[in-house]
Amino acid sequence: MSRKKNYKKIPGVSAIWQHIGTKKYYAEKKIKRKTHSATFNSLYEAKVWRKDFDGISYTPEDEKISQHSTLKQVWQKMQEIHFPLLATSTKTIWKRRYRLWENIEHLPMDKITPSKVTKWISYWVEKFKDEEYQRKRGKAGRCNLNNELNIFVTIFNWYKESEEFEKEALYLTCPIKKKHKKLGFIKPVPVKKKQIDLEHAFLFFNFLRPLYRDLAKLQFFAAARISEIAGLQWECVDFENRRMLIKFTSIFGGSSKMFQELKPFPKNREPRVVYITDEILEILKRMEAFKRDNCGFVFHVEGKPLNYGTIQVNYRGAQRKSGIPYTGTHILRHGMAKLARKVGGGLDAVVAMTGHKDIKLADHYSKCDETDQKEISQKVMEHISEQLKRSPVTPKKSERKKLKQVQKETHEHSENSQAEGNVVSFEEFKRHRVC
C-alpha cells in the first residue's frame, strides 16, 4: 500500500496512510493472518479503529448515512425505561449477556443485518474454540451463543415496541435468523440430571444442617424456587386454614450473592397457594420456635435473611457428601414437578404444584428422563410377553406354507455358502478349536 504514489505514509504511526488527493486516511490491521482495511475522514478515527477493531468488518460510513439509532443508544434507553421493571438478578444477567455485542454496538440498528450477525458469530465462535481458551475454562467453557442471540432479540423486540423508536423501527425486521443458533454452536452442552428422584432427595436432606434441611424439604414439598422459600413470610402462613401463600421473593445480587431486597411478588407476578400438608406443618411448627418479633422471615439467621451464597455452600456440601448425581438448588423444584406428573397423571398436576402459566414450561420441568425410559421399556416388554402367553401368534395355513419355503431357501443358501468356504459351521469351528 505504501508503494502507491497517491498515498503517503503517516510518520510515527503504524499501518495508516493518507490519500494525497482526498486527504482521507486508509488503515490496515492484520488479525489471525487476515488483513482488514477501512477508510476514515480523520487520523483519530483511523487510530481508534486500529486499536479497537476485532475482526468484524464494518465501515464508518455505515454510521453516517443512517438515520437510525445505534445499538448502544437503544440499549442505554432500554436500561433507562425498561430496567426499573425488572428484578435485580435479571438486570445482572442481561448486562452480562450483552457484553459480546459491545464490539458492534456502534452500528445503527438498520445496519445490523443477518450478514453482520453471521460475521459477529464467526468471530466469537473462533475465539471460544481457541485451544488456549478451552484449556483455561475446561468444563466451564462456553458451549454456544444462544443466550447472547436471545438478548439481542429481546432488545430488538423492545426497540420495535417502544414509543421512543416507533417511527425508525417501523420497517425493520429482526436480523437474528434460525441459522444463527446453528452457526453459534461451539461444543455440546454437558448432560445434567435436573429432576432429583425421591430416594436421592431424602438422602440429600440427611446430609444438610437442620436449618437448611427444613429449607430444602419445604422447597421440595412446595415445588418452589429457592428464592420463594428463602423469602417466605409469616404473614403468608395460615395454620388455621392450612394455607401457605407463595408471594414474596428474596432477591440476591452481586458476586457474593448476598440478600438485596424482598420482592412482593414471585417470578410470574402471581401469588399461588400451597396446601399445608402434615409434612409442611411439621417444618413450619419447628421454625415457629425461632420466630422473632422484628423479623417476618420464616427462615433466617439471627433475624437476618438468608444469602444465596450460603444456601449454595450448604446444598453443594450435602450433594457432594451424599454422592447424589445432581447439582444446584433448582433440582428440588424439577424433582417435585416430575413426581407430580407421575402421581397426578398429567400436566395439570404439574401446573397445580409449580404454578406455571405456560404448559410447555410445565412439560419441560416434568419431562421423562432415561430412568423413566427404562421403566417404560421394561413395562412395554412385560406387556408384550404377557400378551404372547395369553394368545400366541400362530401363522395361518397360507402363511405357514410361505414360511417353510423361505426357511428351505435360507437353508440351501447356507449350505452353498459353506461349500464355497464363506461360512464355517459351528461344529466345524469347535473341532478346529479343540485341535
Q: What is the DSSP letter of 207?
A: T
Domain that holds residue 428: 397-434
The pLDDT score that the predictor gives to residue 144 is 94
Same domain, 312 and 211: yes
Q: What is the DSSP letter of 33?
A: T
Same domain, 234 and 145: no
Q: What is the DSSP letter of 42?
A: S
Same domain, 207 and 303: yes
The pLDDT score that the predictor gives to residue 21 is 85
Same domain, 320 and 244: yes
Same domain, 131 and 85: yes
Same domain, 176 and 205: no
The pLDDT score that the predictor gives to residue 430 is 54
Q: Are 346 and 362 in contact (CB under 8 A)?
A: no
Amino acid code (one letter) for 15: A
The pLDDT score that the predictor gives to residue 37 is 83
The tens digit of pLDDT for each residue in 60-117 reads 555 556 789 999 999 999 999 999 988 777 888 899 999 999 988 989 999 999 999 9
Same domain, 119 and 179: yes
Q: Is 59 among the domain residues? A: no
**Tens digit of pLDDT per residue, the chain (435 long)?**
444 668 888 888 888 988 888 888 888 888 877 788 888 888 877 887 888 777 765 555 555 567 899 999 999 999 999 999 887 778 888 999 999 999 889 899 999 999 999 999 998 998 898 888 888 887 778 899 999 999 999 999 999 999 999 899 999 999 999 999 999 999 998 877 788 888 999 999 999 999 999 999 999 988 889 999 999 999 999 999 999 999 999 988 767 789 988 988 887 788 888 888 899 999 999 999 999 989 999 999 999 999 999 999 999 999 999 999 989 998 898 888 888 777 766 666 666 677 666 566 656 555 565 565 566 556 666 766 777 677 665 656 666 666 667 666 666 655 555 455 555 555 555 555 555
CA distances from 319 to 216, 228, 256, 322, 324 (A): 12, 21, 21, 5, 6
Query: How would you class 104 by CB atoms within 10 Å of its CB: exposed for 0-12, middle for 13-18, buried for 19 or more?
Result: buried
The pLDDT score that the predictor gives to residue 192 is 78
Same domain, 312 and 415: no
The pLDDT score that the predictor gives to residue 172 is 94
The tens digit of pLDDT for each residue in 390-402 reads 766 565 666 666 6
If one counts the domains in the chain, the total is 4
| Three-state SS at 272 | strand
Same domain, 348 and 230: yes
In the numeric block, the cell 464494518 is attached to 58
Q: Is 38 among the domain residues? A: yes
- Tell which of 124, 159, 183 closes a domain: 183
| Three-state SS at 108 | strand
Give the list of residues 6+ apart from residue 349 with CB closer than 8 angstroms, or none: 340, 341, 343
The pLDDT score that the predictor gives to residue 30 is 86
Q: Is 297 among the domain residues? A: yes
Q: What is the pTM of this model?
A: 0.63
The pLDDT score that the predictor gives to residue 386 is 77
Strands 304-305 and 300-301: antiparallel
The pLDDT score that the predictor gives to residue 412 is 60
The pLDDT score that the predictor gives to residue 434 is 52
Q: Distance between CA 334 and CA 220 in Å, rounded?
A: 9
**What is the Cβ-side half-sphere exposure of residue 50, based on CA atoms within 13 angstroms?**
17
Same domain, 329 and 408: no
The pLDDT score that the predictor gives to residue 1 is 46
